[in-house]
């Protein structure tokens, strides 16, 4: 906490120095979403380069003056929270003055900019992300406040903890971990008692694009148990994008890649090649939209695809067919095909990339 306070004090000191010299104060922030600031490293994923391009948030420029003020406002809130050892979610910060902040996304962006500028992870700034992910299966742990949590598979899953760094005493007999893209598929596998029927496993869903806590939990479980991690995604560009976020990270959070990515994650399904192999009827597949085509083209250009020749082939199959499929397409073969045939066969015979 003293590190955080000192980092904020240094920023404010620079503001005072500028004012004392009758200069307009300026905040210098790395350009988080600029691909020129990103390098790909197989062992880490997407990470920010040491000598990155920056943007200046000026107090004397009409376009950035409000952003400058909002950054100072949130820095002062963080400073108070660290001093008093209290925490807030991003939503708490937004609702503390909705008129001032204007939108939740403005708050989210500023918090990420501050974290990147100070080179301090967001959780150390005492800002908690709102959790939307779920976990189930062979896992138990103790939360920071001493609450014991048991995720052993039942009809209901457990919410991913809001302070992943604080959990301890993790125990699991799982042989593997399965990341499921969508909540509906996750619930279906829970109902089919998938976690126990094949072999003990841990199942996680970020319910679409994963929030920070879900990504932190996947990384923590990997660090703790070192068991294989598989992903189950829709066979579409959006599903592939989500899998890449878990495996290689996102451009906007590349400054935190070391805590968030798990490059050893495997693509279990749904593979574009599976659709042909399983003779899935064309009438249950979905034609590409223009947005799908541009998303897929963008993924194909990413630096990590070059080191994944098998992935490259799958993306080429998808690009050539211009068809996509949701995991639910397997119900056209039989209602429980996913849990009774598809996943057991894939896991037993090594059908992953």
Cis peptide before 270 (omega within 30 of 0): yes
What is the C-alpha to C-alpha distance for residues 15 and 22, in angstroms, rounded to an integer? Answer: 11
Contacts of 334 (CB under 8 A, 6+ apart): 340, 341
Phi, psi of 204 (to 5 degrees): -135, 140
The angle subtended at Cα 269 by Cα 328 and Cα 221, nearest 5°, is: 110
Active-site residue identified among 22, 52, 95, 337: 95
- Distance from C-alpha of 306 to C-alpha of 212, rounded to nearest angstrom: 27
Which has the closest alpha carbon to 232: 286, 180, 156? Answer: 180
Token pair 């993306």 in the structure block, residue: 315
Q: Is 337 a catalytic residue?
A: no
Q: Give the integer Cα–Cα distance in Å for 252 and 211.
A: 13
Query: Which amino acids are annotated catalytic?
Result: 95
């Amino acid at each position: 906490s003293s590190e955080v306070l000192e980092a904020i004090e240094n920023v404010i000191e620079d503001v005072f120095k500028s004012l004392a010299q009758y200069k307009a104060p300026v905040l210098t922030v790395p350009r988080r979403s600029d691909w020129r600031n990103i390098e790909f490293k197989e062992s880490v994923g997407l990470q920010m380069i040491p000598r990155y391009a920056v943007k200046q948030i000026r107090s004397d420029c009409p376009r950035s003056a409000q952003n400058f003020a909002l950054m100072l406002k949130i820095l002062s809130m963080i400073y108070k929270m660290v001093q008093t050892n209290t925490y807030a979610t991003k939503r708490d910060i937004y609702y503390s003055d909705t008129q001032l902040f204007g939108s939740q996304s403005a708050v989210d962006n500023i918090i990420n900019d501050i974290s990147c500028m100070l080179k301090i992870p967001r959780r150390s700034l005492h800002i908690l992300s709102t959790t939307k992910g779920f976990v189930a299966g062979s896992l138990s742990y103790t939360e920071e406040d001493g609450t014991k949590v048991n995720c052993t598979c039942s009809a209901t899953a457990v919410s991913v903890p809001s302070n992943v760094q604080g959990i301890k005493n993790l125990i699991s007999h799982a042989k593997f971990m399965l990341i499921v893209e969508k909540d509906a598929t996750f619930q279906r596998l829970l109902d089919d008692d998938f976690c126990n029927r094949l072999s003990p496993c841990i199942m996680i869903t970020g319910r679409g694009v994963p929030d920070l806590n879900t990504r932190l939990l996947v990384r923590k479980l990997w660090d703790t148990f070192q068991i294989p991690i598989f992903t189950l995604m829709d066979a579409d560009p959006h599903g592939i994008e989500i899998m890449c976020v878990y495996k290689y990270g996102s451009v906007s959070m590349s400054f935190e890649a070391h805590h968030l990515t798990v490059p050893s994650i495997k693509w279990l399904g749904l593979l574009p090649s599976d659709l042909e192999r399983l003779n899935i009827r064309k009438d249950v597949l979905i034609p590409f939209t223009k947005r799908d085509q541009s998303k897929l083209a963008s993924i194909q250009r990413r630096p990590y695809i070059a080191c994944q020749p098998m992935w490259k082939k799958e993306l080429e199959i998808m690009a050539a067919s211009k068809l996509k499929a949701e995991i639910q397409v397997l119900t056209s073969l039989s209602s429980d095909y996913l849990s009774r045939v598809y996943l057991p066969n894939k896991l037993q015979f090594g059908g992953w990339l």
